[in-house]
Amino acid sequence: MADFASSSQAEVDRAVTAVAWSLYEPSSARALAELAVQDTGLGNVADKITKNQRKTLGTLRDLMRAKTVGVIDDDPATGLTRYGKPVGVVAAITPSTNPAATPINKAMMAIKGGNAVVIAPSPSGWSTTFAACELARAELAKIGAPVDLVQVLPTPVTREGTQELMAKADLIVATGSQNNVRRAYTSGTPAIGVGAGNVPVIIDASANLADAAEKVLRSKTFDNATSCSSENSLVILDEVYEEAMVALANVGGYRADAAEAERVVTRLFPDGQINRQYIAKDYVELRAAFDLGGSDEDRFVMVEEPEPGADRPLTGEKLSLVLTIYRAQDFDHAIKLVEQVLLVQGIGHSVGIHTADEDQARRLAEELPVVRVLLNQAHTFGNGGSFDNGMPFTLSMGCGTWAGNSISENLNINHFINITHLVRTIELDEPTEEEMFGAHWALTQN
């Protein structure tokens, strides 16, 4: 960091681009995707390649548009000039679901702020994360930037080692298990954590059902549902319920009968805890494991539930190609069902809606305790930033105080810089007592 401290914005941007290219480069994106599936057994290679490249390209776009070195903003009206400065050494806690994409995503943001990053990966994803960091360091070396800006904890990664890293770092950015997030917040180091995903999505009576079904298919099945933004339940309005179920079946959704639904619950959640054997597996494996009908050409299984509840395992996040379906009597009931889901798991994270009536989406934004409400989008692709919406690209979604998080937005470059303010005097901006208290006096005078 000391060697990097005198770098210009252009030099910083070259370093960020080098790290981005280390993952985006087609052969690297594929090799790391293959290694990730081999290491963790989660997801599939094709979608991890897409994730490695799409998230990297989008994040690089966002970062190249930001100023982080020297004067980043100058406002004559307020007399304030703002200077960007590093936060310091960043401890990046990363999950097994994205052992290449998330570490490089965080490394790009950290370096853009002039920081160094030390990554603490999931033990099962260590080989992939280490390989990704080695590629990033090699690209930094090619442009003469300090390679030690990007480091990874040695294997075996232990809880004690990760805890020590968090204690010594200047900032922690924790993505993954809620245990890691809680440990980050209690470490004594400034920390940014994310909340648990468990996305409920409403299909309104006015929705284009074929379009909604296609988007649910693409989003739910992407990387075998490893994303925290993957749909975990659908709430379908009664008026179009059967028609929507047909539309979903047309794109590969298999509708489980009562006996099959019971097998899904008992085998995916033995003793009420998720069976990691079935997390992020191909549908063919799940179909065999759950003894489902249909065919291997199906893409996901739909299990109909009467209502959400803490005693109903399918209410929560499933990290698998299992989609819970609820039937809503009307839109008020749909909102109630979504609230019940969020109270069990996923509060603060996000909801989605497919509708032709934007007022329905506004109601969700006004009434629900979530950071993001996505309108007519494939949730996995829109929630963490997209080229056709305004959300910053990220793999870490803050969920506000609802979920015990310090941020209520997508993790972005603003979280990786300190700001010094140069403060000048300006024309006096002091209100009179009458302007401030006049209305109150008028209400309280006898």
Q: Which residues are annotated as catalytic?
A: 228
CA–CA separation, 230 and 216 (whole Å): 9
Which backbone phi and psi does 234 adopt, to 5 degrees? Answer: -115, 135
171-174 and 191-193: which strand pairing? parallel
Query: Do 328 and 300 meet the contact criterion of CB atoms below 8 Å apart?
Result: no
Among 249, 236, 221, 254, which residue's Cα sits nearest to residue 381? 221
Query: Do 302 and 325 meet the contact criterion of CB atoms below 8 Å apart?
Result: yes
226-242 burial: b if 16+ Cβ within 10 Å, else e: bbbbbbbbbbbbeebbe
Burial of 76 (0-12, 13-18, 19+ CB in 10 A): exposed
What is the Cβ-side half-sphere exposure of residue 260, based on CA atoms within 13 angstroms? 18
Query: Do 94 and 125 meet the contact criterion of CB atoms below 8 Å apart?
Result: yes
CA–CA separation, 259 and 312 (whole Å): 16
Distances (CA, A) of 385 to 31, 100, 126, 378: 24, 18, 26, 11
| Measured distance between the N- and C-terminal CA atoms of the chain, rounded to whole angstroms | 65
Which backbone phi and psi does 171 adopt, to 5 degrees? Answer: -150, 140
199-203 and 80-86: which strand pairing? unpaired
Sign of dihedral through CA atoms 139, 143, 146, 149?
negative
Q: Is 43 helix (H, G, I), strand (E, B) or coil?
A: coil
CA–CA separation, 35 and 173 (whole Å): 24
Among 206, 227, 337, 359, which residue's Cα sits nearest to residue 280? 227
